[in-house]
Amino acid sequence: MKNINKILIGAAALLCVTACEDFFTREPINEFSSDTYFSNESQMKMYADGMINSWMPSMDDIGYAGYSVYNDIIATRTSTDFYAPGIWNYSRQGSWSWTFARRVNYMLEGMEKNGKGKVSDEIYNHYEGIARFWRAYHYVSRVNTFSNVPWLDKVLDPTDTLVLFGGRDDREEVFHHIVEDLTFACDNCLGSSQYNTASRVYINKWVVCTYASRFFLYEGTYRKNHTVNPATNQPWNNKYESADDLLRLAAKYAEEVINSGVFSLHKNYADLFLSANLCTDEVIWGRSYSDELGVRHNLTRYFNSSTLGQQYSGTKFLVRQYLKTDGTPVLTNAQDINEEFVGRDARLSATVLGPGHIIKDETGNNSEQSINFTWCQTGYQLIKWVVPDATHFQNAIDANSLPILRYAEVLLNYAEAKKELGEFNEDIWNKTIGALRARAGVKSIYPLSADYVKDPILRDYYTASDLAYQPNLDDIDLEIRRERVTELTLEQGLRTSDLYRWNQADLIEKRYNHQGWPGLWISEDELKNGFQFAGKTYTFPTGGEIGETRYPITTQNDRNWTLAKEGDGYLLIYNYTLEWKERMYVRPVPLTALNKNANLGQNFGWD
């Protein structure tokens, strides 16, 4: 019974994220029979728990999401090789793995063989829904990576000719199967308290519906903004669901979560990322950590280290997205960092280090945190996931629990889907964008009202003439995009996903008119005499470094920090050369896969 021992034993590791859920007290199962397993709910649940143990997003998936953190609004010390000029090709590409399909299909076939009639239809459909959710979950990742992929819906022998010699199925056909799986899961997975426990660890109706709203929104907007299937460079065939069909499904399942009344916005935004316990009023799915149980992570260290991670830093464009509390935008880059945080959206000071942020220092005393340029490239130090305790900066001792899915994203998915469908109105605004801004202490101003103040820099950012694709965006579209930045930054690579589905990933290369990531604004006087922050003075010696840090305003290898003239001051710019080409919306089929099966073919532009 291949794989089952690993899955069932792995389920025990859920202790790290489920506290005292009852299945930990059960006697271990010592023997399994392929002829009888999946014949009762306990066995179905144990196998499903093993899937959670294997596939629940990890700390890095949640907080900075691997290569997906490389985007236009977060500066990094170096980039992924994928964006480096002339490096990426099919010999470097990986991720051509389909073991997930075998594990899922094993459960589905085992349940049909041994479980039919042994449990109620409700329970049977719930666990079938969980299995089909996981199949869709993994297939969405493969489709987003390669576009056309083989669809596997049965347990195959390793010698099966479909595996060895089969070609790839068209993206639209594969996504049609994903739609079938997700709609079944949304309609049949249970969401009652038995399955939606305080640990927020189990796959249930609300987890599935939230992911469905994300996945359907992605594919629907992707097809609207891209005229061709990137695997073939041929127009969409529209044999299955249309873009609008997918957007209707995104809105439908987001609305199910909204109308359920199970979730609401947590009052304090910062608590969502720093609390020891998951904020279960808003968190739909999450990972729990515990000092008491010795289950910790090191996300704080990744954002406060000159050697670990990528020295992630915010940018001027990120900071500019946060409105003033009166609901109007900041219309200039020429703001000192000490001014930027005054009268602003509360999410700004929960995401980027501003004046007055108190941490516990190494001696245990409270002190105002200053900028550390040894791990901050732009002057905008990120604090969203960071425990405010300096003893965590070089140690893996974090015990703050990490949300994976939040109700806030459901609201944003619903708003954008309804806008794309032409069904948006002020009532939807108030229930979605308006509600998120109210939580952040920002006055909600509907973009069609007389009080609305347009943001020309926001419009230019997404519609500049040097962009490959210039969408027709109205003010509501722009404000939805703004809100996705201010609400979801640094969560699961969603910014990069947004750029890909909007057909605007060239913004990753563009960065401040192709000069790099813009950081702090420095006045003429501050350039001469230094700027003040948290009781410290940071100076700019000519050709030297800022203060006593390792932050040169000069070129080092292929990386450089420069000062760009901006009004009566300068923007601090961090830059190295990146590349974007149209073919990069899809990855190449790996050489290792092609060597085994030439019938897979290569994606357009990657030959």
**pLDDT one-digit tens code per residue, 455-474:** 999 999 999 999 999 999 99
Instruction: State the pLDDT at residue 481.
Output: 98
Mean pLDDT confidence for 543-562: 57
Mean pLDDT confidence for 342-350: 98
Query: What share of the chain has pLDDT > 70, as a percent?
Result: 90
Residue 238, both tokens: 């529209």
pLDDT at 28 > cutoff 50: no
CA distance 312 to 334: 23
Instruction: State the pLDDT at residue 140.
Output: 98
DSSP three-state, residue 572: strand
**pLDDT one-digit tens code per residue, 409-455:** 999 999 999 999 999 999 999 999 999 999 999 999 999 999 999 99
Cα 134–Cα 15–Cα 184 angle in degrees, nearest 5 = 20
pLDDT at 578 > cutoff 60: yes
pLDDT grade for 6, boundaries at 50, 70 and 90: very low
Instruction: State the pLDDT at residue 25.
Output: 30
pLDDT at 579 > cutoff 80: yes
**pLDDT one-digit tens code per residue, 39-80:** 999 999 999 999 999 999 999 899 876 666 899 999 999 999
Instruction: State the pLDDT at residue 18.
Output: 40
> Within a 10 A sphere around the Cβ of 471, how many other Cβ atoms?
14
pLDDT grade for 560, boundaries at 50, 70 and 90: confident
**pLDDT one-digit tens code per residue, 289-338:** 999 999 999 999 999 998 888 999 999 999 999 999 999 999 999 999 99
Residue with tokens 């709609």: 183
Instruction: State the pLDDT at residue 208.
Output: 98
CB burial of 195-218 (b: ≥16 within 10 Å; e: otherwise) equals bbeebbbbbbbbbbbbbbbbbbbb
Mean pLDDT confidence for 140-149: 98
pLDDT at 27 > cutoff 50: no
pLDDT, averaged across the chain:
91
Mean pLDDT confidence for 584-593: 97
pLDDT grade for 103, boundaries at 50, 70 and 90: very high
User: What is the pTM assigned to this prediction?
Assistant: 0.93
Q: What is the DSSP string of 178-200?
A: HHHHHHHHHHHS--STTTS-TT-
> Within a 10 A sphere around the Cβ of 167, how many other Cβ atoms?
12
Instruction: State the pLDDT at residue 5.
Output: 45
Whether the Cβ atoms of residue 455 and residue 321 lie closer than 8 Å to each other: no
Q: Which of 351, 499, 488 is nearest to 433 (CA)?
A: 488
CA distance 520 to 532: 12
Distances (CA, A) of 257 to 105, 189, 271, 296, 504: 28, 13, 22, 31, 29
Mean pLDDT confidence for 267-279: 98
pLDDT at 554 > cutoff 70: no
pLDDT at 512 > cutoff 50: yes
pLDDT at 375 > cutoff 70: yes
CA distance 342 to 564: 25
Instruction: State the pLDDT at residue 33.
Output: 61
Instruction: State the pLDDT at residue 590.
Output: 97
Instruction: State the pLDDT at residue 11.
Output: 42
Q: Which of 176, 182, 239, 175 is nearest to 207 (CA)?
A: 182
pLDDT grade for 164, boundaries at 50, 70 and 90: low
pLDDT at 32 > cutoff 80: no
Instruction: State the pLDDT at residue 20.
Output: 34
